[in-house]
Chains A and B, each alone.
Chain A
Amino acid sequence: MGTRPAEIAVPARLRVGVLALQGDFREHAQVLRELGVNVALVRRPEELDQIDGLVIPGGESSVMDKLARTFGLAEPLRAAIRGGLPVYGTCAGLIMLADTILDGMDGQQGLGGLDIAVRRNAFGSQTASFETDLDIPALGDQPVHAVFIRAPVVETVGPKATALAALADGRCVAVQQGNLLGTSFHPEITGEYRFHEYFLQKLIAAAR
């Protein structure tokens, strides 16, 4: 299962942050390191200055939101995203990047950036979590094995965003918009490197 990392020429000076407030940030850091990237864990506002891109991991989006606001990360992050910082979010990270959050907590604030409406925990309790194969032509012929864990779905894709993948029932589970990428599922825990590679290509282009 999974794919081998491809040969991407990653510039040595490139640093990619992983938001490390809560969740499976170590798994993302590991995938990025295997792709030859310098990784920085980000928990403080000043740590945002040093990075060329950011990954927001899976976890509990409401907890990340609270901690990001409490420790002064939310506003600088919003500004950085508006300024073109490449960001890839998985699951909770996708929720953080959505302009509109449905079924969020009272007062939950995302970072925004993706012109989408995301429904939090769209499938129900953990017994409804599942794994499946997705055909994603943008990533090649081999299907992507995707794990959905109390996952969100993209309910509305606005005109600025583009859908990349859908479930058999048509619900959208991966999107991109400019330098932003988001998936409902977790490539970081299945040995799937192609989403991170795809993100790195955006990032390398943006850093040029």
Chain B
Amino acid sequence: MTESTSAEQFGSSRVKRGFAEMLKGGVIMDVVTAAQARIAEDAGAVAVMALERVPADIRSQGGVARMSDPDLIDSIIAEVNIPVMAKARIGHFVEAQILEVLGVDYIDESEVLSPADYVNHIDKWNFTIPFVCGATNLGEALRRINEGAAMIRSKGEAGTGDVSEATKHIRTINGEIKRLSSMSRDELYVAAKELQAPYELVAEIAATGKLPVVLFTAGGVATPADAAMMMQLGADGVFVGSGIFKSGNPEQRAAAIVKAVTFYDDAKVIADVSRGLGEAMVGINVSDIAEPHRLATRGW
């Protein structure tokens, strides 16, 4: 046995994207207190998302939603052993700087918070910490990856418990990837223009048939069946926001969703874990939300 002599490299794309690879097949749960983080970890969450209010409350209470208090984030980091993610406002690079020094593992540049910049997203290449960003379609996903996002989550419509937008976004992204795979090079130049994304990324996806980063689904997942459907539609994993702690029995529902994601293609397991979970979050139909109040339209 000999020892290594070469330098260590931190914050490379491979290290950032590789971390998301390790989260695959897992459930990332929104938590607003250390006690909820404990429940999430005990239920088998692969990571927790620390925030001040779950999207359902942001939606009902209104006002400007910002990065959480550092004390809250510290208390959640202290409580759990699994990775901790936290949200920064779109374009708010100082909130991101703060989250990085707090020792968070991943930053979500999230449309669930009020945007801080209606033109620019954060230049994520400037950071050692990796970022996940939301997307409703392939062009948006590629623009985020071009800015340095190391993981993408389809947006859905957060805080609703209505999975229809999550379904639409994952289907859209995967459908657009499939279309690229069948295109010739002259068509790819036009596709890049139409997607408003760099040609090199478009060509890479056409060749590999998949995004160069991990793709999770979010926004409206409330039941084990919802989570399993996202996996069957091609998601690498699932974010559950309000769906757990706005339900009647968070411990049991959280554990059930974890199992449903692992056995996403086994209806018998999904049926078993769906029994006796108590009330799911009440929810709002996305169609009842006026366009200006939809979160998925934030980010461009």
Contacts and interface: CB of A to CB of B under 8 A. Distances in A.
Nearest to A189: B18
A26 B103 CA distance: 29
A20 B10 CA distance: 29
Contacts of A166: 1-4
A197 interface: no
Contacts, number: 142
Interface stretch (A31-39, A109-117, A123-131): A123-131
A62 to B, nearest CB: 7
B81 to A, nearest CB: 5
Contacts of A205: none
Interface stretch (A8-16, A79-87, A143-151): A143-151
Interface string B26-44: 1000000000000001001
B106 interface: yes
Contacts of A130: 8-10, 15
B205 interface: no
B2 A147 contact: no
A59 interface: yes
A129 B15 contact: yes
Given A22-B24, A60-B22, A189-B21, A129 B10 contact: yes
A67 B6 contact: no
B128 A127 contact: yes
Given A125-B103, A126-B129, A58 B21 contact: yes
Given A22-B24, A22-B26, A132 B4 contact: yes
A170 B2 CA distance: 9
A131 B8 contact: yes
B287 interface: no
B147 to A, nearest CB: 19
A23 interface: yes
B22 A24 contact: yes
9 contacts: A22-B262, A59-B46, A66-B44, A67-B262, A129-B15, A147-B14, A163-B1, A186-B18, A189-B18
Contacts of A26: 24
A126 B130 contact: yes
B15 A131 contact: yes
B290 interface: no
A207 interface: no
A156 to B, nearest CB: 15
Contacts of B1: 137, 163-166
A171 to B, nearest CB: 9
A124 B103 contact: yes
Nearest to A27: B21
A143 B82 CA distance: 31
A103 to B, nearest CB: 7
B23 interface: yes
Contacts of B10: 127-130
A21 B262 contact: yes
A105 B80 CA distance: 8
B103 A127 contact: yes
B129 A127 contact: yes
